[in-house]
Structure formats: structure tokens, C-alpha cells
Amino acid sequence: MRIVDGETIISALARLIGELVTAPPSLRDAVFSTPDLSGAEREAAAILDENLRIARAEGRPLCQDCGMVQVWVKKGKFASFSGASTLRPLIDEAVRRAYRDGGLRCSMVKDPFDRKNSGDNTPASVHIEEIDGADLEFTVLLKGGGSENVSRIAMLPPSAGRAGVADIVLTVLRDAGGSGCPPYQVAVGIGGSFDTVATLAKRALLFDDDDDPELRDLILRRVPELGYGIAGFPGVRPVTAVRVATAPTHIAMLPVAVLLNCHAFRRGGVSL
């Protein structure tokens, strides 16, 4: 059994979050201004490029919504850790350090109805996947509320097929408009059950799944129907990428989760 020091986990995750807030590796080569844009969309793209530059140069958060911290852990069966009996308190301590001590915006409320801020951006959303071997891998996404709010789950009949799934994706994108900060990273989970299909969509977003190229291309071909682009202004670039993850499901079911991520795609990982 390999034992990873708990403090090593905390400090590595806190450092990673700090990097994701201002200059995430997932946006290292991002350029929003492309020659095919015009009018208001072009103005918006130039502002987003300037936003990336300022965040890097001045160490400012890319977005005031520094996100809900979503962590996917791949835990080898021969990997363990010190400092706590489960991973969650270690992850939450990393979040506390990164946000409360790092001057980032804390956006988590303790209760969905009384809406009192937890004050340190905890708890993180944690998913643990068991793998073979002795590795301990953390993939972290800082997820903004705007794009999470425009994501949807639908339970379709199997007869809907790829065309029906594409219809739902287009409907979600149409309803989202400029409210979730396009251009969007689209992640579609298909199969499983009501609870697992959302996790499937998240897996697609985190690990670049491309399980059904036919569906991915069908969605991409239909994107121009939306008629809006960057910032939701009339234009041509509402979507940056489409990722698809599929899983076995029930004979009666075709669950679909459409998860949108804003242009501030803050994803990164660390292996310990």
C-alpha cells in the first residue's frame, strides 16, 4: 500500500485551484477572436481575449464566480493517504485555503433555502472512482453557477435515438442563450439512470470523452441553427466543443444529461 501524505494532497490541490482561477492549463491556447466573427460578437470576443490577458498579467480571477469546486478522484486500490480517514476533509481543507486565504469569492451556501454563505467555499463536490494500481489522481473543475443553471436532464424514450438526443441538446442551448456565458463547452451524458447520467456528462467534460462521434457531429452540424454566438449576441460561435459519454441503460430508458460549461473552462489535474 502506498501512503500519500495528507498535507501534500491539501497543498497540491490548493495550489492547483489558485492556478485554475487565473490561468488554467485548459485555456492556455484559447483565442476567442477569430477572423470569421463580426459585429457585436467580435467586440465580445475581443473583451474575452483581453480578460484572459488581464487575468494572467495581473493575477486576477478570470471570473468573479470563482466556482463550485468539483473534484473527480481516481483512486488506485493500492493508494491510501494520511491526515484524515476519508478524502473529503482533505479536499475541503484545500478549498478553504485556496478561497478564504486566497481572497477568492466564496459562492457556496450551507442551505438551499436560508442561503447563508459557508464562508470558505466548502463543501466541494467530490466523486471517487476506484481504479487498479497505486495512483492517486485528482481532476478539478471550477464550475460557475451560470452555466450549471442552464444544464438539464431529460428521460427520453429509446425511440428518440440520436436525433432526439440532438433535439434536446439544441433545446438546452437555445434556452441557455447568453445566460450561461457562451461560447459553451457542451458535455452530453447518455445512458445509465437518472442519477448516473449527470455524472456521465461530467465525466465527458473532465476527460474529453468522445464515445459517439456520429452524435457529436450531428450536434455540431446543427449548432448554426441557434443564431447566437459569443456572449449570446447574434453570431456564429455559441459552442467551442462537444463531448459525449455513453453507458449501458435499461430497455425502457434513454436518459440524457446536457451539461454546459462557460467559456471560462477552468479544468486541471494533479497526480500524487
Partner 1 sequence: MRKIPVTDLDALRSVKAGEFVALEGVLLAMRDRTLARLSAMAERGEPLPVPLAGRVIFFAGPTPGLAEGRGAVGPTTSRRMAAYLPFLCDAGPTALVGKGLFDEKDTERLRSCNILYLQAIGGAGAYYGARTGGVATVAFEEYGPEALFELTVRDFVVMMTLDGSGAVRR
If the CB atoms of residues 80 and 171 are measured against partner 1, the closer one turns out to be 171
Q: Which of 83, 146, 164, 269 binds partner 1 (CB under 8 A)?
A: 146
Determine if 69 is a binding residue for partner 1 (CB under 8 A): no
Stretch that binds partner 1, among 36-44, 195-203, 206-214, 235-243 (CB under 8 A): 36-44
Query: Sign of the C-alpha dihedral, residues 178, 179, 185, 186?
Result: negative
Q: Which of 36, 50, 129, 225 binds partner 1 (CB under 8 A)?
A: 50
Determine if 63 is a binding residue for partner 1 (CB under 8 A): yes
Stretch that binds partner 1, among 68-76, 192-200, 202-210, 230-238 (CB under 8 A): 230-238
- Residue 144: CB minimum distance to partner 1, A: 7
Say how far apart CA 169 and CA 185 lie, in whole Å: 12
If the CB atoms of residues 73 and 98 are measured against partner 1, the closer one turns out to be 98
- Residue 233, CB-side half-sphere exposure with 13 Å CA sphere: 11
C-alpha cell at 217: 457531429
User: What single letter denotes the amino acid at residue 193?
Assistant: S
Burial readout 77-109 (b: 16 or more C-beta within 10 A, e: otherwise): eebebebeeebbebbbbbbbbbbeeeebebbbe
Say how far apart CA 9 and CA 61 lie, in whole Å: 23
In the shown chain, the binding pattern of residues 101 to 140 toward partner 1, with x for contact by CB under 8 A and - for none, equals: --xxxxx-------x-x-x---------------------
Give, to the nearest 10 degrees, the angle between helix 161-176 and helix 213-222: 40
Stretch that binds partner 1, among 7-15, 86-94, 185-193, 225-233 (CB under 8 A): 225-233
Nearest to 128 by CA among 191, 201, 76, 204: 76
User: Pairing relation of β-strands 68-76 and 125-131?
Assistant: parallel
If the CB atoms of residues 122 and 199 are measured against partner 1, the closer one turns out to be 122
* Interface ranges with partner 1 (CB under 8 A): 22, 40, 43-44, 47-48, 50-52, 54-55, 58-66, 103-107, 115, 117, 119, 144-146, 149, 177-181, 231-234, 262-264
